[in-house]
Structure 1
Amino acid sequence: MAVHEHKKNKCSLRCLVLTISDTRTDETDKSGNLMVEQLTKEGHEIVQKEIIKDEGIIIHDRIEAGCIKDEIDVILTNGGTGIARRDVTIETIKPMLEKEIVGFGELFRMLSYQEDIGSAAILSRAIAGVRNNTAIFATPGSSGAVKLALAKLILPELSHVVNEINKDLT
C-alpha cells in the first residue's frame, strides 16, 4: 500500500508541545523531547514546550491560550489519555474541539494494534481536531505511542491539515 504525502504543500509550522503528567520533569520527559526533536527535524518551529499537571482546568487553560495565539498553528499533547481516574486529557480536549478529526484516533488505534502493543490498543485513547483555526493532536504519553503517531500520521499530514484549516480564511 502506497503512502500518500502532500509534499507540494509542506510548510514550516509553529508548534506548542505539552506533556501532560504529574510526574515528568524536563529530564525525564522522553515523549515531549521526542516530539520536539521530530518536529524540528521536519522543519517546524517549537514556539513553546511545557510540562503541565494532569488537571482539567490546567489542560483547558493551556490549550485555550495556545489556540488564541496567532503564532501557534499546532498544539501537540502527550500523556493523560489513559482510563485511570487521573487521566482527563481526552475529557478536557474533546468538548473544546470545533471539529474532530475522527480518523486520527481510529487509525492510531489500528496502527498501535498492528505495530506496537497488540490487543492493549483497546485501552488507547487519542484525539485530534480543530479549535480556533488551530490543529490539536493528543497522543498517549509513551514514547512508542508518540513515535508511532508522529511517524505514521501526524508528520506526513501536518502541513496538509493546517493548509485545509486555513484555505478558506479571508
Structure 2
Amino acid sequence: MSIHKHKHHIRSVKCMVLTISDTRSEETDKSGNLIVNVLEEAGHVVKIKRIVKDDIDVIQTMVAEGCANPEVDAIITNGGTGIAYRDVTIEAVKSMLDKEVPGFGEIFRMLSYQEDIGPAAMLSRAIAGVRQHTAIFSTPGSSGAVKLAMGKLIIPELSHIVNELKKDINA
C-alpha cells in the first residue's frame, strides 16, 4: 500500500493542549493559543486546554487524565523542556510512554538546526510517543518551536498517527 493510500483515512483528532509553565497565564499563553489555533485550522478539535505548573506529579496527573479520557486522542504539551532544573516535562512524559517515537525529537532538532538555530538546537528537548491509545507530543514552549513542530511534524501526521493507534480498538 502506498503512503498516500495508507494516510488516506483522515480523521478529526480530539486534542488536549497543556502549557507547562510556572509563569504563563491564559492572557500570556501565546504558544498554547497558537497550538489551539493551528489544530482548529487543520480541522481538529481541542477538547481540553490547561496551563499547569512545571512539576512532575502535576504533569503526569494531567497526562494520565487525558489518556484515560475517551474524548482525547492526542495530547500536545509545550514548555518545560529546557535544561534548567525546573524543566521536567520530558522526564515526566517519557516515564509514562508505552512506546516512544524517537524520530520526532530527532527531526525536530534537525529542522531547528537548519532554521538558523544552529548548534543551540542540541538543547531543544522534544519527545513524542504513545500511552495506551493516545498520542503524546511535547515541544519547547517558544512560539518559533511550536510553529515548527506543529507545521512540519505534528499537523502533517496527526490523523495518520491517531488512525494507527485506534485501528485495533474493538477489532
Query: Structure 2-normalised TM-score?
Result: 0.94
Q: Which amino acid aligns with 2:63?
A: I
- Alpha-carbon distance in structure 2 between the residues aligned to 1:165 and 1:42: 20
Partner residue of 2:44? Answer: 44
Partner residue of 1:110? Answer: 110
Partner residue of 2:121? Answer: 121
In the TM superposition, what whole-angstrom CA distance separates every residue of 1:61-97 from its partner, at most 9, and x where no partner exists? 0000000001100000000000000000001100100
Partner residue of 1:131? Answer: 131
Shift of 1:169: 2.2
Partner residue of 1:53? Answer: 53
Partner residue of 2:92? Answer: 92
Shift of 1:5: 9.8
- Alpha-carbon distance in structure 1 between the residues aligned to 2:65 and 2:89: 16
3-state SS of the aligned residue for 1:9?
coil
Partner residue of 1:69? Answer: 69
Shift of 1:117: 1.4
Q: Is 1:83 the equivalent of 2:75?
A: no
- Alpha-carbon distance in structure 2 between the residues aligned to 1:33 and 1:58: 20
- Hey, which bits of structure 1, 4+ residues long, moved more than 6 A? none
3-state SS of the aligned residue for 1:76?
strand
- Unaligned runs of at least 5 residues, structure 2: none
3-state SS of the aligned residue for 2:91?
helix
- Alpha-carbon distance in structure 2 between the residues aligned to 1:138 and 1:154: 10
Q: Which amino acid aligns with 2:120?
A: A
- Alpha-carbon distance in structure 2 between the residues aligned to 1:85 and 1:12: 37
Identity %: 65
Partner residue of 2:144? Answer: 144
- Alpha-carbon distance in structure 2 between the residues aligned to 1:111 and 1:94: 22
Query: Structure 1-normalised TM-score?
Result: 0.95
The 8 Å contact of residues 6 and 156 in structure 1, kept in 2 or not, is answered as: no
- Alpha-carbon distance in structure 1 between the residues aligned to 2:79 and 2:16: 14
RMSD value over aligned CA atoms? 1.3
Q: Which amino acid aligns with 2:83?
A: I
Judge which range, 135-144 or 108-117, deviates more.
108-117
Q: Is 1:29 the equivalent of 2:11?
A: no
- Unaligned runs of at least 5 residues, structure 1: none
3-state SS of the aligned residue for 2:23?
coil
Q: Is 1:15 the equivalent of 2:15?
A: yes
- Alpha-carbon distance in structure 1 between the residues aligned to 2:80 and 2:21: 6
- Alpha-carbon distance in structure 2 between the residues aligned to 1:157 and 1:45: 15
